[in-house]
Every structure is written in structure tokens, then in C-alpha cells.
Amino acid sequence: MVTSRSRIIVALDLPTAEAAVDLAAAVAEHVAGFKVGLGLLHGPGPAVVAALVGLGRPVFADAKLHDIPTQVEAAAEHLGRHGARWVTVHLSGGSAMVRAAVEGLSRGAGEAPSGILGVTVLTSLDGNSLGEAGIQQSPGRLVSKMTRLAANAGCEGVVTSPRELKVAADVAPDLLRVTPGIRRQPGGDDQTRTATAAEALSRGADLLVVGRPITGAADPVAAAAALAAETAELGVRRPIAGLESPA
Ligand code: C5P
């Protein structure tokens, strides 16, 4: 049983709320928390957050909010009322928008621990795809700027690819570093800036977001258990409010 040591957030990118809750219940003892993304939030809807909270792990609503501040504030507040421990915003929405999200979530969550995580640069983007969108800076340079913005606007943490973890740690060491794009081998799907779980933890990740390597495995429970066991002793392991403290 590795519950208290796990730093894995399983990304429940599944077609229905029932499938997400079933998988979450099955892997709960091996993970630190559950993440719901745009598919579930826009399909079954945000009530799935509350259903997952009932399983006793913090829930990460990966809503990737990006709109004018009043809209983002309202959305974050609603997600907080549903019990979200974390909500994501795109930092490219600017500091006023990010501050509005921080206020909205804190109002919605009330006394429960909650925090906004700022998405720096999607892990599916590389220099070429950023160039296509008219952004001439490297992912590293962008992550540096976005992390500073996140710290100044009151985020609890940033979401960043394994490759830019050190940049984020240098710019704002106190922010939580949450890292998707975890793969045993690079390539094979839409993630481009990937690393193994061990690499990401050794570069300073606090939480690993892992989706298809668990949900797409022939035996998701065995995959979650193996990853949790492999990573149980690795990383910095700072205390995180709402997670069981490391044993
Ligand atoms: O299946 P996979 O392990 O690629 O899942 C990664 C998860 O992390 C997905 O749910 C995706 O939405 C999310 N994510 C990401 N890149 C970011 C932020 C979140 O891949 N920058």
C-alpha cells in the first residue's frame, strides 16, 4: 500500500462519469488524487468532481480556464463549490484573469484547501507549433515568464512539462510543480515534451499527472500500482495541503 507516498494524479480522461468514478475507485490506493479534464467537465459536467471527492482523494479540475476575468472568476467559484482542490487556468490569460480565478475558487471552496494551478505551455506544443501561433520564444523562455506571472498573481502552482521543471523551480521555487507528459518512452501520441516519472521527480516535480499510461493499460490498477511503487522513494516530497502527509 503506497497511498501516502504516491505523487501520482491520475488523469481520468474517460468517456463517462461512471467509467471515471469506477476507475478512480479501483486505483485510489495507488494515487494522490484524481484529475478531470475538458472531456468530462463538458460532457457529464462538473458534478463528476463531487462524485470523485466522495472517494477521499483531492480532485483536480483541469478546466484550463481562459476568458475575461469575471467569467473565469465565476467558473472557478462553481468548481470550488463542487469540491475541486485545484483548478487550472491558462496563464496566457494575464494576471488580472488569474487573480480573479484565485478569488473565485477560494470563495467557492470556503474552508477547504484549494488553489489555482497555472498552465504555462501545453506539453503537446513544441517550438514549431508555438511558431505557427506567432510565438517566437522557446518553451523554456515562455515557461519562465509564465511562472513569474503565476507567482505574482497568487497561484498555488504551475503545470509544466518535465523539460521545463528546472526553469519553473528557479523562477518561483515555492510554487507547486505539476507535470504531465509522463511516458516510459518518448513518442507515440500527442505529447511531445515528455520524460519518465523518475526523471520528472528528480527534476523537482511535486505531482505527476498520468493519464493514458494508466487508463490505456491492459490492467490500469497494475499500471498505477507499478508506477506508484517505482516512484515511492523519489523526489522532493514537500507537504501539500489536502494530501496525506508522506509516511
Ligand atoms: O494521457 P496523458 O498522460 O497524456 O494525460 C495527460 C493529462 O494532462 C491530460 O489530461 C491533459 O489534459 C493534461 N495536461 C497536459 N498538458 C498540460 C496540462 C494538462 O497534457 N500542459
Q: Is residue 241 part of a domain?
A: no
Q: Judge if the beta carbon of residue 40 lies within 6 A of ligand 1.
A: no
Please state the length of the chain. Answer: 247
Q: 121-131 burial, b for 16+ CB within 10 Å, e for fewer? A: bbbebbeeebe
**CATH number for the domain that contains residue 160:** 3.20.20.70
Cβ-count burial of 169 within 10 angstroms (0-12 exposed, 13-18 middle, 19+ buried)? buried
Distance CA 185, CA 164 (A): 18
Q: Is residue 242 part of a domain?
A: no
Distance CA 153, CA 203 (A): 24
Distance CA 238, CA 215 (A): 27
Ligand 1 centroid – CA 149 distance (Å): 21
Reduce the DSSP state of residue 216 to 3 states and report it: coil
Q: Structural domain tally of the chain?
A: 1
- State how beta strands 33-36 and 176-179 pair: unpaired
- Of 106, 123, 130, 193, the C-alpha closest to 158 is 123
Q: Judge if the beta carbon of residue 208 lies within 6 A of ligand 1.
A: no
| DSSP H or E run through 60 | strand 59-65
Q: Judge if the beta carbon of residue 209 lies within 6 A of ligand 1.
A: yes
- State the chain's mean pLDDT as an integer: 92
> Is pLDDT at 104 greater than 80 in this prediction?
yes
Provide the 8-state DSSP code for 92: G
Residue with cell 500500500: 1
Q: Is residue 244 part of a domain?
A: no
Q: Which amino acid residue places its CA nearest to atom 10 of ligand 1?
A: 11
Q: Which amino acid residue places its CA nearest to atom 2 of ligand 1?
A: 211
> Which domain does 89 fall in, by range?
8-232
Dihedral of the CA atoms 4, 2, 223, 26 (nearest 10)? -70
Q: Judge if the beta carbon of residue 91 lies within 6 A of ligand 1.
A: no
Nearest ligand 1 atom to alpha carbon 210: 3
Write the pLDDT tens digit of every residue in 127-151.
888 888 888 888 889 999 999 999 9
* Stretch 113-130: mean pLDDT: 89
Write the pLDDT tens digit of every residue in 151-177.
999 999 999 999 899 999 999 999 999
Q: Is residue 178 part of a domain?
A: yes
Query: Phi-psi category of 234—alpha, beta or left, where left has phi over 0 and alpha has psi -120 to 50?
Result: beta
Distance CA 236, CA 246 (A): 11
Q: Is residue 202 part of a domain?
A: yes
Question: Residue 2 — very low, low, confident or very high, per pLDDT cuts 50/70/90?
Answer: very low
> What are the grid coordinates assigned to 179, written together?
507535470
Reduce the DSSP state of residue 100 to 3 states and report it: helix
Q: Which amino acid is at 77?
A: E
Q: Is residue 245 part of a domain?
A: no
E strands, 76-196, where?
Answer: 86-90, 115-119, 157-159, 176-179
Q: Is residue 227 part of a domain?
A: yes
Q: With pLDDT > 70 as the criterion, what percentage of the chain qualifies?
A: 96
